[in-house]
């Protein structure tokens, strides 16, 4: 079990906090709004009303004791920057900050955030990709060049085994899991034929995954 401090419990912060708690982790939710704190209190380990730019108040909650601090006050740029600086100065092990745009993200990284998320931007990109592709169901960017794609099986691969297709040599990708009829198969038999309703989870370069996507479904 890990411990998380969530600073700012708007829609994004609340979703992160409640999900982490459901997964069995210790979650402290913090917000300047008394109403938000009251609403989430029964769904997390603890919830406190706090001004995240108040250094003395932040010290009292013991920020340095948490495995990860998530700063989700992305709309208030000044508050998110100050909270990031304070958390790092107080010895926070890992700080994830929510940004509203590219410039905000750059500033947060410069002021000490270990990583930055832009939920609205990422959701928009994800939606756009799903709208223009018949085969890609979901994806996760690992870097600028590599991704994990969850994709419907190309028609030309149906009833063929991974060994016969030779995906690594011919497409420079790896199939790391198969979603089949509600089951997730991770111990994949490379000699077993793939089925028409298989959903493949693949990892590779964006160029290689695009090549697979172009095969059609």
Q: Using alpha carbons only, what angle is made at residue 183 by residues 124 and 133, rounded to the nearest 5 degrees?
A: 30
- The whole-number pLDDT of residue 139 equals 67
> pLDDT tens, 125-155?
666 766 655 555 676 777 778 888 888 899 9
CA angle at residue 14 from 33 to 101, to 5 degrees? 90
Q: What is the pTM of this model?
A: 0.67
State the Cα–Cα distance between residues 163 and 68, nearest whole angstrom. 42
Q: What is the DSSP string of 67-91?
A: SEEEE--TT-HHHHHHHHHHHHHTT
Does the pLDDT value for residue 117 go beyond 60?
yes
pLDDT of 217 > 80? The answer is no
**Domain 133-213 classified CATH 3.30.70.1450?**
yes
- pLDDT tens across 166-187, in order? 999 999 999 999 999 888 899 9
More confident residue, 188 or 126: 188
Q: Where in the chain is the domain with CATH 3.30.70.1450?
A: 133-213
Superfamily of domain 3-121: NAD(P)-binding Rossmann-like Domain (3.40.50.720)
Which pLDDT score, from 0 to 100, does residue 29 have? 96
The 10s digit of each residue's pLDDT in 56-102 is: 888 889 999 999 999 998 677 888 999 999 999 999 999 999 998 88
């Amino acid at each position: 079990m890990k411990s998380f401090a969530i600073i700012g419990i708007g829609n994004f912060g609340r979703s992160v906090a409640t999900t982490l708690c459901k997964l069995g982790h210790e979650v402290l939710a913090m917000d300047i709004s008394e109403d938000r704190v009251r609403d989430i209190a029964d769904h997390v380990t603890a919830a406190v009303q706090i001004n995240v730019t108040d250094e003395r108040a932040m010290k009292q909650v013991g920020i340095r004791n948490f495995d990860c601090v998530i700063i989700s006050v992305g709309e208030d740029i000044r508050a998110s920057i100050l909270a990031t600086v304070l958390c790092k100065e107080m010895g926070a092990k890992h700080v994830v900050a929510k940004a509203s745009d590219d410039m905000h993200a750059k500033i947060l990284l410069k002021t000490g955030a270990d990583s930055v998320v832009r939920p609205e931007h990422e959701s928009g990109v994800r939606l756009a990709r799903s709208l223009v592709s018949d085969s890609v169901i979901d994806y996760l960017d690992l870097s600028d060049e590599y991704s994990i794609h969850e994709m419907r099986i190309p028609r030309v691969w149906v009833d063929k085994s991974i060994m016969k297709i030779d995906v690594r040599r011919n497409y420079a990708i790896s199939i790391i899991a198969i979603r089949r009829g509600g089951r997730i198969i991770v111990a994949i038999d490379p000699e077993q034929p793939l089925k028409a309703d298989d959903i493949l989870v693949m990892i590779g370069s964006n160029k290689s995954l695009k090549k697979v996507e172009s095969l059609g479904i």
